[in-house]
Amino acid sequence: MIVAIVTGTWCPNCHDEAQYLVELDKKYRDQGLAIVALDFEEVEQQASLARVHAFVKQYGVKYPYLLAGAPAEMWEKVPQLVNLNTWPATVFVGRDGTVRAVHSGFASPASGEFHAKLQKEFTERIEQLLAEKASANASTKLTANDAGAAGRTL
Give pLDDT tens digits for 6-41: 999 999 999 999 999 999 999 999 999 999 999 999
Assigned CATH class of 2-153? alpha beta
- Cβ(90)–Cβ(103) under 8 Å? yes
Show the CA angle centred on residue 126, arms to residues 133 and 24, nearest 5°. Answer: 125
DSSP states of 8-33: -TT-HHHHHHHHHHHHHHHHHGGGT-
- Cβ(35)–Cβ(6) under 8 Å? no
The pTM of the whole model exceeds 0.85: no
Decide if pLDDT at 148 tops 70.
Answer: no
What is the structure's pLDDT at 135?
54
